């Protein structure tokens, strides 16, 4: 892997999270310890938008499927939704009691999910402006979540050594396999839901499990989008 370009993002402190838009793969959003959410066009040196409103560091960001909305979860547990076309906050959602570590939009409906260090996974209805269900099956913090491509499930991974599959239509939680998911991890699900991918960025490794909960040895996968890989972090200037 070769690095073609490094971006000096104008956050005043650590960049905690970033996501690339799935629709175009040409925009990305970053969240920082400076409470800012910045929007970028990949390949351009300057931010398109810098969004304010949170009162604590940003721990998670994501686009909706149309790349019109951005959700950002903060260390306070508060989640804010921005309309990028209007450059304004359209929802402020509360309910988590600790850091909101992960957010993901439903692929079709006007819903999104959030995971938190308070051990809860919440489903939010954007139209109703509130939480419609809270999954409580994890016993420690939830660090990664991902909707399945068909929108029927949301997969969650936590520090309690479990990855769980949550059924949206019945509001039940099922164990997929046992492995600890830290705050330097991400989850992926294949379109047919036959493979579950766990990315461990701290070790630059990826593990793939099949639908029978078996770890597929010999596979190494590290691909976020088809053409490039990005990472974010912070460094001392002293």
Assigned domain for 234 exists: no
DSSP symbol at 184: T
Assigned domain for 35 exists: yes
Contact, 224 vs 206, CB < 8 A? no
Report the pLDDT value the prediction gives residue 94, as an integer from 0 to 100.
96
Who's near 114: CB < 8 A, 6+ residues apart? 60, 71, 73, 79, 96, 100, 102, 103, 121, 122, 124, 145
Q: Radius of gyration of the chain from Cα atoms?
A: 17
Please choose, from the candidates 231, 230, 187, the residue with its C-alpha nearest in 3D space to the C-alpha of residue 207: 187
β partners of residue 31: 17, 37
Assigned domain for 238 exists: no
Report the pLDDT value the prediction gives residue 179, as an integer from 0 to 100.
58
Contact, 40 vs 31, CB < 8 A? no
Who's near 71: CB < 8 A, 6+ residues apart? 60, 61, 62, 64, 79, 80, 81, 103, 105, 112, 114
Assigned domain for 226 exists: no
Contact, 70 vs 82, CB < 8 A? yes
β partners of residue 93: 79
Task: Supply the range of the domain harboring residue 73.
Answer: 15-210
What CA–CA distance (Å, rounded) separates 120 from 238?
Answer: 39
Structural domains counted in the chain? 1
Report the pLDDT value the prediction gives residue 219, as an integer from 0 to 100.
39
Assigned domain for 201 exists: yes
Q: What is the pTM of this model?
A: 0.78
197: domain CATH number is: 2.130.10.10
Question: pLDDT truncated to tens, each residue of the chain (238 aa)?
Answer: 444 555 555 777 888 998 999 899 999 999 999 999 999 999 888 889 999 999 999 999 999 999 999 999 999 999 999 999 999 999 999 999 999 999 999 999 889 999 999 999 999 999 887 999 999 989 999 999 999 888 988 988 888 888 888 888 877 766 555 555 555 566 666 665 545 555 554 444 555 555 444 444 433 333 334 334 444 444 444 3
The tokens 């409580």 sit on which residue? 136
What CA–CA distance (Å, rounded) separates 76 from 110?
Answer: 24
């Amino acid at each position: 892997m070769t690095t073609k370009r490094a971006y000096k993002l104008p956050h005043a402190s650590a960049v905690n999270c970033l996501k690339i838009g799935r629709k175009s793969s040409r925009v990305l959003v970053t969240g920082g310890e400076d409470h800012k959410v910045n929007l970028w066009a990949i390949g351009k040196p300057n931010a398109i938008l810098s969004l304010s409103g949170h009162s604590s560091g940003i721990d998670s960001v994501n686009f909706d499927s149309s790349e019109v909305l951005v959700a950002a979860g903060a260390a306070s547990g508060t989640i804010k939704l921005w309309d990028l076309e209007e450059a304004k906050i359209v929802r402020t959602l509360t309910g988590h009691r600790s850091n909101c570590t992960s957010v993901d939009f439903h692929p079709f409906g006007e819903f999104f999910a959030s995971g938190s260090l308070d051990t809860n996974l919440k489903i939010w209805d954007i139209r109703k402006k509130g939480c419609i269900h809270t999954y409580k099956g994890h016993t420690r913090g939830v660090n990664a979540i991902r909707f399945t491509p068909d929108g029927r499930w949301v997969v969650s991974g936590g520090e309690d050594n479990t990855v769980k599959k949550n059924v949206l239509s019945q509001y039940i939680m099922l164990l997929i396999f046992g492995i600890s998911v830290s705050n330097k991890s991400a989850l992926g699900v294949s379109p047919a839901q036959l493979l579950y991918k766990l990315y461990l960025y701290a070790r630059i490794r990826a593990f793939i499990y099949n639908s029978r909960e078996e770890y597929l040895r010999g596979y190494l996968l590290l691909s976020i989008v088809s053409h490039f890989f990005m990472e974010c972090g912070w460094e001392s200037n002293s």
